[in-house]
Chain A
């Protein structure tokens, strides 16, 4: 199994309480976690990326254990080799498109200058046709371009798995259809292992992968 996930987590906020208890395994290259908002999709994704520590369970990707409560394995987010595309992309507003894309290539304490372009950054800029906006800041580019930058930034370090949180929700409907096709084509061209979460049945249909439905913190 290339993806093997079992996560239990109880979240308390004031007097409310949410129980997440999700388990699934799949070796499909496109896994879709489908469910309404509040079903626990984002929590599952955050736990897989190492941004949320589960109370119990395990996360394995390609046979590599990223988290296991019983053996106390808990790799920090930076060592998981898992990329994460946030719902509103979380592009760094103080860095240019090229600097955003190259972010993961330099792990030093300070941001590389605006002029230092890695060859790999150039390649992704060309792949996603971002040449015209490479030196622009995220606030000045279009929604579709923002999504491409977020994808390029996630893919540049060649992750084993790409997690995408509602990748089309921030786009206007006309663009959404085009970006679905684009993502699907990119996935098969690069043979990416990806896990997408969505509340939109149209996304499920377009991505045509192994669909797992979540409801109230559990696999339905």
Chain B
């Protein structure tokens, strides 16, 4: 197979997965920190709803996205007037991957924030820091190890996203055809050699991401208690 046949979907897949991970880091950290500090019975209900993407079939998620973002969708019409088209574009693939991988970041981040000894935050407040500074200087760095692990899981998940991506972004070679979609297309076309190579590349990238998860965080963060 020509190099371009694997290179193009690989670059697109990495672009989509990196964007989805970046968006999920911001959203996941924000939501997880909010939930970890929120004292209400509604908290677990919200948490369950936010976990739905983990258990719902990706095709169902893709369908929801079409209903919401499609040209005649709830937000789609409004976005269309702004000149933003998400269906059948790589940005649609980013949204699909973001949605599917979101619970992985959120759950890991929430567990990490809840594991931070509140005494460190108390100490920072007594030392004169306001809420935002306590978050960026104490809570976030102490939770970073867990968040990083979650983000790498989310990256690996976004790399392999198939169902929701196919529903909203389609299968347009060179534009929205990510590796997992390209593999499906190759198998359908009887091109087992291309499919095999792309399967190996996807597997290797995901293994690498998971290995990184254990390696990235510095040693001294392994202990959060003095």
Which of A26-34, A82-90, A204-212 lies at the interface?
Answer: A82-90
CB nearest to A89 among chain B residues: B226
Report chain B residues within 8 Å CB of A109.
132-133, 136-137
Which A80-110 residues have a C-beta within 8 angstroms of B? 80, 82-84, 86, 88-94, 103-104, 107-110
What 1/0 flags go to B134-169 for Cβ under 8 Å of A?
001110011000000000000000000000000000
Q: Is the CB of A104 within 8 A of B127?
A: yes
B residues adjacent to A (C-beta < 8 A): 117, 119-120, 122-130, 132-133, 136-138, 141-142, 220-221, 223-226
> Is B127 a contact of A103 with CB atoms below 8 Å?
yes
Q: Is the interface of A mostly helix, strand, loop or mixed?
A: loop
- Interface size of A as a range: 20 to 34
Q: Please, which residue of chain A has its CB at the minimum distance from the CB of B218?
A: A94
Which residue in A82, A94, A137, A139 is a CB contact (below 8 Å) of B126?
A82
The answer to whether the Cβ of A77 comes within 8 Å of any Cβ in the partner chain is: yes
In the bound complex, do residue B220 and residue A94 qualify as a contact, i.e. CB atoms below 8 Å apart? yes
Contact flags A31-73 to B (C-beta < 8 A → 1, else 0): 0000000000000000001110000000000000000000000
CA distance A83 to B125 in the complex (A): 10
* Residues on A with beta carbons closer than 8 Å to the beta carbon of B130: 78, 107
* Given contact pairs A51-B126, A92-B123, A111 touches B223 in the complex (Cβ within 8 A): no
- A146 is an interface residue with CB less than 8 A from chain B: yes
List, in ascending order, chain B residues with CB within 8 A of A93's CB: 142, 220-221, 223-226
CB-based contact B119/A86 at 8 Å: yes
CB-CB under 8 A for A107 and B128, given A91-B226, A93-B221, A93-B224: yes
A110-B137 in contact given A77-B125, A78-B126, A86-B119 (Cβ < 8 Å): yes
A-B contact list, 10 entries, CB within 8 Å: A50-B125, A78-B129, A82-B126, A90-B122, A92-B142, A93-B224, A109-B133, A109-B137, A110-B137, A153-B127
